[in-house]
Amino acid sequence: MTAFLVVLVIILFGVAVMQMGKIFQLSKGKQDSNAQIANDKDNNVNGWLMLAFVLFIYGIAIFSFAAYWDVLLPESASEHGVGIDQLWLISMALIFVVGIITQWLLHYFAFKYRGRQGQRATFFADNDKLEFIWTIIPVIVLAGLIIYGLFTWTEIMNVEEDEDTLVVELYAYQFDWRARYAGADRTLGEANVRLIEGANQLGVDASDPNAQDDVVVNELHLPVGKKVLFKMRSQDVLHSAYMPHFRAQMNCVPGMITQFAFTPSITTEEMRENEEVVDKVKRINDIRREKNQNMGPDDEVLEPYTFDYMLLCNKICGNNHYNMQMKIVVETQEEYDAWMAEQATLAQTLKQ
């Protein structure tokens, strides 16, 4: 009912505006029929505004960089991520140069050649040489980018598994994550959603000998400097395992196993001491403190924040999509071993 009333009010408002327009129209004298076509004055004003506008674009770019530089992700915490960041930087520099020049030309020409009575435009319909130049330049530049990009991509995606690779299953479901480690035998046990029952939340085949020493956890621990191969599964709908600090992402697809591998290069402890991260955490805590001071009596008190790596779901997956996360801890091999030793194996969990 309220919605209907609102619509009615909007319609009536429109009618009122129209009536006002009518009165306005009647009150004006007769105009000449060219009144609504740009004249020299309009061209002049809008020409200058075009010039101002290109400065506005530069301004908003500079402002954004100045103001938002420090919200960006810190240095890559994985080995391949350094290559991605490098490529990103090069591409970014390139598109900025192109963007700055073309936007300038576009708006400057709009200003410089703004119409004037009696000004004669140049009849200039074709020039094969010019067109050849600006076809060939993008071709060369893009060829470079494509080749560079493809090398980077192939290096990341073609995973060679060796003795030392740590295989971890990432298991996604509405709305949480689980990680399964292969255990001492370095082989993940078979699993299928049809076997999900009680404590066997991931549907691991309990009779599979490889499954006995598997370890299921809800906090991802990774030893630094060791290649991790993630095998991703989903139980219900599409999810995406997104680990922004590691420049890593892969969809989790029900019915198939997807994979992504990287080598973490910076431990959580080290990252917490990274200058950018220290700054960011400080800023975040200032914001949280301020919020705590301004909040009402029944609001939840915000805890102070300490930095942790995180795994987010980045593919729309349902109502709680926005809160589907898992903590990632990157630590030294010793810390990792110690942590792993405390975890119960699947055989132990299922026996209970």
Following CA atoms 67, 69, 72, 73 in sequence, which dihedral angle do they give, to the nearest 10 degrees?
-150
Would you give the DSSP letter of residue 259? E
Cα 167 to Cα 90: distance, rounded to the nearest angstrom: 33
Binding flag, residue 27, another protein (CB under 8 A): no
Identify residues 236-275 at the interface with another protein (CB under 8 A): 236-238, 240, 242, 244-245, 247-251, 253-256, 258, 260
Nearest approach, Cβ of residue 57 and another protein (Å): 6
Most distant CA atoms of the chain, gap in Å:
94
Cα 169 to Cα 179: distance, rounded to the nearest angstrom: 5
| Residue linked to tokens 């370095």 | 186
Among 8, 16, 18, 344, binds another protein (CB under 8 A): 18
Which H or E run contains 234?
strand 228-234
Query: Which is nearest to 291 in space by CA: 277, 305, 278?
Result: 305
- Residue by residue, DSSP assigns 314-350 as -S--STTGGG-EEEEEEE-HHHHHHHHHHSPPHHHHH
Q: Under DSSP, is residue 169 helix (H, G, I), strand (E, B) or coil?
A: strand
Q: Under DSSP, is residue 239 helix (H, G, I), strand (E, B) or coil?
A: strand
Cα 321 to Cα 176: distance, rounded to the nearest angstrom: 9
* 104-112, 206-214, 217-225, 341-349 -> range binding another protein (CB under 8 A): 104-112
- For the sheet with 220-223, list strands across it: 220-223, 325-331, 309-313, 239-243, 248-252
Nearest approach, Cβ of residue 288 and another protein (Å): 6
| Residue linked to tokens 């066997």 | 200
Binding flag, residue 8, another protein (CB under 8 A): no
Count other C-beta atoms under 10 Å from residue 135's C-beta: 9
Nearest approach, Cβ of residue 45 and another protein (Å): 8
Among 27, 29, 36, 342, binds another protein (CB under 8 A): 36
Binding flag, residue 293, another protein (CB under 8 A): no
Q: Compare residues 70 and 273 and give the one whose CB is closer to another protein.
A: 70
Angle at 224 between CA 165 and CA 244, to 5 degrees: 95
Which H or E run contains 223?
strand 220-223
Binding flag, residue 57, another protein (CB under 8 A): yes
Identify residues 134-163 at the interface with another protein (CB under 8 A): 134-135, 138-139, 142, 145-146, 149-150, 152-154, 156-158
Structure tokens at 257: 């196993």
Binding flag, residue 345, another protein (CB under 8 A): no
Query: Which is nearest to 251 in space by CA: 237, 267, 272, 268?
Result: 237
Binding flag, residue 292, another protein (CB under 8 A): no
Q: Compare residues 59 and 332 and give the one whose CB is closer to another protein.
A: 59
Among 51, 103, 165, 200, binds another protein (CB under 8 A): 103
Q: Compare residues 248 and 336 and give the one whose CB is closer to another protein.
A: 248
Nearest approach, Cβ of residue 184 and another protein (Å): 28
Among 8, 11, 12, 92, binds another protein (CB under 8 A): 92
Q: Total binding residues for another protein by CB under 8 A? A: 133
Nearest approach, Cβ of residue 208 and another protein (Å): 17
* 176-184, 207-215, 299-307, 337-345 -> range binding another protein (CB under 8 A): 299-307
Q: Show the site string, 202-241: x = touches another protein by CB under 8 A, - = not.
A: -x----------------------------x--xxxx-x-
Nearest approach, Cβ of residue 251 and another protein (Å): 5
Among 217, 278, 284, 329, binds another protein (CB under 8 A): 284
